Structure 1
Amino acid sequence: MNSRAPVWRQRKALFSVLFVSLAAALLWAAAAYFRGFEQTHRREVESQLTAVVDLKAAELARWRQERIGDASLFAANPVFSRLVRACFAGEAGSEDVLRVWLGRFQAAYAYDAVLLLDSGFRKRIVIPDRPERAISFVSPASEAQLRAGEVVLEDFYQSDGDGKIYLKVLAPVLDGDAGSSLLAVVGLRIDPNVFLYPFIARWPTPSLTAETLLVRRDGTDALYLNELRFRRGSALSLRMPLARTDVPIVKAALGARGVVDGTDYRGVPVIAAVRPVEGSPWFLAARVDAAEVLAPVRERAWLAAVVAGALLLAGAAGIGFVLRTLSARADTERVRAAGALDESQARLHAITESAQDAILMMDGSGNVSYWNPAAERILGYTAEEVKGRNLHDLIAPQRFHAAHLPAYREFLRTGQGAAVGQTRELTALRRDGREIAVALSLSGVRIEGAWHAVGILRDITDRKNTEEVLQRALEEKAETNERLEAASALAHHMAHEAEAASLAKSQFLANMSHEIRTPMNGVLGMTGLLLDSNLTDEQRRFAVVVRASAESLLAVINDILDFSKIEAGKLELAEVDFDLRTLLEDVAEMHAVRAQDKGLELVCRIDPGMPTFLRGDPGRLRQMLVNLIGNAIKFTPKGEVVVEAAAGNETASSLDVRFEVRDTGIGIPEGKLGLLFNAFQQVDASTTRQYGGTGLGLAICRRLARLMGGEIGVTSVEGEGSTFWFSVFLRKQEHSRGEGIEMADVKGVRILAVDDNATNRLVISEQLSSWGVRHEEAESAAQALRMLHAAVTSGDPFRIVITDMQMPVTDGESLGRAVKEDPLLEGTLLVMMTSLGLRGDARRLEQIGFSAYLTKPVKQSQLHDCLATVLGRSRKKGRTEAADLLTRHSLSESRRRSFRILLAEDNATNQQVALGVLEKLGYRAEAVANGLEAVEALRAAPYDLVFMDVQMPVMDGFEATRTIRSDAVRLQKRRVPIIAMTAHAMKGDRERCLQEGMDDYVSKPIVPAELAAALEKWLPTEEGPTLLPPSPSVATVEALPVFDRVGFETRLMGDADLIEEITRGFLEDVPTKLAALAEAVRQGDPAEASRQAHSLKGSSANVGAVAMSAVAGVLEAAASAGRIEAVAALAPDLEAAFAVLEPRMKELLR
């Protein structure tokens, strides 16, 4: 027994060391694996929560901005403001229009309700129309913001009416006519159950406990705003004190951002990502129960614990069995010990054999000592094949041997290393030679003085393959970008190579356009002249058919060429200065005859407050207006055609202009509206047969509108009429000309406007108001007579009556007879405006006693000149002396006859056409056959304007223009306007003409209206630069108004700061310019003297210095004529005018 004691102790120690070593190794490996998995899983959950809360917070912030943007559409819409004002004033039909507008808006944007409230915040319109309790819709806090013109978004609230939870957006509608005071409020009520609550509740992946929370601070609490997953009815009812800093959503309300741990409203531990919603009082949290997050970790921990526990139990059982049997005899002891060891190994083997991860063990030499079935499955070697073989040589790829060997030797020596106790991702080599990605957790165990390694290895090939696929996708994206850049460079290179061919094609098209338009010019021009000659009825009928056919063919050619250029991207927009009012009036005048022939009222109106001196492409703008107005007249058998222009969004340098052409014509079926803007399509075939047309006009208009930064559209009711509209983006002129017409002649005069058409009365009223006229309106002749008698009785009679011809019951002619036959009214001046001018009207009206007779549409400048002339005649001749009837033609006839015009054109037919058209327009012109003859003609005599053909023999138009503009050839004392005339209609023609020194460009065939517009634009406004009016004396200056202070302040809209700034700058600038003028006189330089005088004339007129501006204008004329001695004589008068003006203007300085 004593002899067996040492053996027993030896065996006990051996078995204990083996058991502890194996258990420690397994426990260490399990612990390392557990820690790595827990950290990785936690990071994934935090990343998901952060992504969810960031995405939802950004979407909520964007949603708020979109709702405020929806409401701002009403706050910034002058058309809506005018419609609301009309509704509140009780105008018929206005409320129905508002209901339709608001109803469409509510349906399109899915608002729960859209409300219109008056300035007292009382409900006037509710969409949808449903009974509601009379509850205040606007909180007191919001009322102040709305009156200040701000859009308000009222947060979540519970309605006192139906108990539901809503949000609302309130937009002020300002009354522009009442100093931007609050006119109404548009309210947009939002049901959060439609979008907000479902959006907040959505979660991207399946989860048992995840949810999103939205709160706002409410006093000392955080108030929950949405319905919670585990507590119904929580919205606006559940609160959490801000002192509860263990709750994540409270941390968010206190400014926290990121991932936090805590307990939620149920008292359950959670992990949450929190952040505020930018631009709002809201705070957002995305949270999930900690138990759900840790569930996978616990499962892995349980597995590790089972394995470790099984090992420990097996070891303990084995040791106990050995200790119990060691007390027996030696043989029995050995047998029983062997049995216990076998049993222990079997149990350990069962555990390791069932593991899904490979469990490996190396001895102190690096050879495999253990290899479980999972290792066989993952690496392909059986346990028998690897036992005793070096593990490193088996599974490590050859390329890693050199790098791994030093670390491996260090482990065998010390049991330490960078990989020990860590989970590393490595590449392993399978038996079949295929490399796989693995995650290896390595632990060291010291057995019998040597370090053994225990490793747990997991196959992560699928995960790595997925990562590689993503990486390849990124690399392919980069390669695709590189290929796109290469393709772009190639395309750029090919574009350069194609440019030469494109230029040749463009030149060909230009020449063909010239060849097509030149004979058309002859056909149209000669037909027009033929119709003005004495023809038989049959000949005239034939000639009219020829002209109509030629005009139709030219329209088709123009439409097709324009459409082709637009489709090919060859159409470029010009950017020049122009006057929108003049353009619109010219277009209306072009269509006036057609409207009169059909008995239609043609009315044009421009928003009085809108800038009209703009920069853009007036030609294309005119083209769109001509098309739309022409269509409106074509499809309107009776009634009126109204053209309106109004400003939209406006900045300091630009504005959007919206044009509307409204008619009372046949209308368009609703089902056909979508076809209108398609190329080569009309409403139906019968329309083409009855009215003609290519079907390209509206398609071209749509493309032009989009090229000019706008859009085009139409609304129509079949049988009632249509409204076509389009918008364009235009820039303001940097140095605008004065937009008003001189008001001195008619300011303060009392005038009565009589017209049964409300639109016409509005237009005339706005024009008269802009000139400072005291005016009133009457809608019938009977009302006008009553107002005339009442004015005479009051001692303040009307000086002028402007009347329409066509009125019900009593027309304008009968009204004129009644006025002239009444002894109390016979001194009243009469002006007739008619849409239906007929032969004999002028003579008959003159006999009745009318002073003027104008055909609509009447330009604003024409009406002003007419009124001023009528008043001037009456003051000069007296009431008893008859004066000739004033018409629009007599206003400009004498001025036109005084101009000298030179025409340079090599084609005899074109010469005849152009001279004939100019003669019909009332102008006198002389013709030459080439550019050289034009230069010689200008050397021989002065001309006011030159029309220059581009393609001519001997010397073309470009070379002639350069010669005329050359400093070496002093052909004129002033710059004569040169207007190009060419059949070219291709890209770049206009720009080249302007670059060569020409001033403008008209195309052939000649269009009389276009030619007339060019003449009006470029001919001088005074009779001639060489005619010098007599010099005004100081007494004359004193007789003129020294300072029109009211006009000056009105132009600057009463802005006191701006008035003072401009006044101070003017008073400081004038002495400098007077000194420069004196120096120019001393040097004998008339050009510099003219420039200084011109500057003084313009600046004086702008500040209301009437007398000084008049003297500067006379001085400028003298300097332009080269009469420096006259300038010297006038200079003291200019200084005297400023001396009188200066103290008056200083009164404006504070």
Structure 2
Amino acid sequence: MHQDSPNDSWAIKFAQFIKRFGTLKLSMLFVVVTLVFTLGGSYVIRVAMGNEVQPDDFIIAVVLTMMSAPWVLYFLSELVKQLETSRVNLKEVVSQLERLREEDVFLNRELQSNIRQLNHEMEQRRKAQDDREAVFKDLEREIEEKSHSEQQARHLSTLLRSIIDASPDLIYYRNEEGRFAGCNRIAEMLTGKTEAELVGLTLHDVFEEELARQIVASDQEVLETNESMTEELWLRFADDRRRYFEMKRVPFFDNEGKRLGLLAFGRDMTERKQAENAAAKASTDKTRFIATISHELRTPLNGIVGLSRMLRDTDLSDEQFSWVSTIYASAITLGNIFNDIIDLDKLDRDKLELSLKTVSLRDFTQELASIIRLLAADKSLELVTEIQEPLPQLVEVDGTRLRQILWNILFNAVKFTQKGNVRLSVAATEAKDDMTMVTYVVEDSGVGIPESEIDKIFAMYYQVDHPDHQSATGTGIGLAICKQMVDLMDGDISVTSEVGKGTRFEITLPLHISKAPMQVSKLLVTDLNILLVEDIELNVMVAKALLEKLGQTVDVAMTGQEAIDKARSNHYDLILLDIQLPDMTGFDVANTLRDEDLVMGTAMVALTANVIKKREEYLQNGMDDVIAKPIKKSRVIEVFNSLFTEPAAPLHTEVENKPKKTDNSKALTNILDIELLQMLVDTIGEDMVRASVKVFQDKMPEYMEILQLSLSADEKSEVCSQAHKIKGAAGSVGLSRVQRIANQIQQGDHPAWWQNVHDWVEELQMAVAHDMKALHEWLNTQMIED
């Protein structure tokens, strides 16, 4: 039901009241009310007028009321009807208005919603427009940046290309198929082709076949391992210039890790190679010079030492004995100074090695003291020797090096001492695990060394700059060499000194206690038929006298050819062979004698003043041993006893002085190092030896190919280097003849090297094929014997 609005008019409210109360009831009520009002009004008027109330007044009022009431009622009824109709109409209007209002509200809400939606859409469109504008701006910026980046990339590419082309290094890259994909200007100069011409070609299309195969093999290794590789190659330019390049090859990949091919860099190392060759040549020249000086100086020195030693053994007056002893000591001093020079060269070439032997410390010390005592006596000095007990009877030490160390220090002690004495003492700690610490102390009462100079005393070529030292000069290398030799022996050397009171040197060395018997100082074999091959008459005289005094028979040849002729017509138990002969080398003589089977069962010992070479080098060249000049009696006894007596003689009824080898054994010994092979079999086992031989056999074709390639390129240094590698490999598996031939090839300083090297290489190739069979046969024989 419609609820009345509080703003409805009173007429509408009255009409509504009449409708609710009823027209009839309201009409009657109105007549009554009107009648009462009329009566009351009449009464009030009469009273007000001062008249008495008459019944007529009431009748008149009633009649008037009754006459007027129907018209009033009609009017009121019509009025009510009109009002009701108006009300109804108004209600309908209000209802319509209400509906219109609601529709308006709905439409307004919808309009507001549409407006909000429109506003939202407009906002979204505005944002979208802003985003589009931002995207356009970003796109414009990106395009601008990309354009700038592309421009920079083009500049960078041009710059990199310019750098690559301007680079002195060789640069090229190849794809997975092994074809050129690009290069720089140096590569174009090398190949004589432009980059456009090179693209698509293989190495075989560009380089000579041997070189191409070598590079392809290296490239294949890089691609298989995906690791970089560096090697050095001689490359020939299109204009026939040969340059030495250090080639580095690396695989290169794209951003996704896919390999695209191989990138190669080559740095021209020709100047460095030439500098290395020059340095090597300088070192070789220096070594050759020292070797020549060694030969030339030791020849007269050999005569002085030998003859003075022989003179001392004759009947002499005290004065004559003193003179001869001074000559003898001076010659030994000169020899030791020369040894310092030789050792200095060896230190420069890292060839100084120790040769351990069983030595009696007591005898060693007394022998050294006896020589120094002669020098001290010349200056009226006393040499005091002290051997502190207990001292190990025998130790293993390089007696030559230890003697040289002590000689240098004792010689300096005598040289810098004007009066008083020089003391030499030796002591040893208690042995532990067959080791003992032996300490030599040399003290003098000489001029001393200033405290500021102590730290510099072992420096090479250093000499104390002090007035008290001006009276005695030297080379400044003796103590430096002593220090390096002591370090080589894992020992320690220290010095303390006080100016005007003297100097104290202390040398401490860790030495093994020797359980092996000391080499016999007495010659155990006599009546040997010896061929002495020597071209210096003085050396012949000294050596012949010494050998004959030791009970041997000596025949002399003064040239290589004379030695060969004598060996053809006579049988000798021993050949003492000088290496430097006027017509050929001692090795040439030995090779000829072996080739003609003239030395079956005959030992050959090198006599040489060249102390540059190591003993192993002479053994590798077929010598059974080596004796250095000047010849020492102790060394002769040592070598003779080693060659012609057994360490422990078997219990036979008759024992021969000279064990002789069979022809087959001698022939096998000429090509194989049986002693080394037997030691390897006993130590590491036959299977490991066979495996090592297999590795050598597999590697040898490659070694020979590189050797022949280097020889074809006339690269002497490369030939010598490869021969050195072959020599080492052959030595490790006991192929002594292959080792000797390779050693000949590696001696690039040989005056007739170029004239002989092709023959040597051919000889090496034949020896490898033949001697490998002999080695396998020997190993099979060992298996059968086992």
TM-score by length of 1: 0.31
TM-score by length of 2: 0.43
Say which one has the larger Rg.
2
Structure number with the bigger relative contact order (C-alpha 8 A, sep ≥ 6) is: 2
Considering fraction of residues, name the structure with more helix.
2
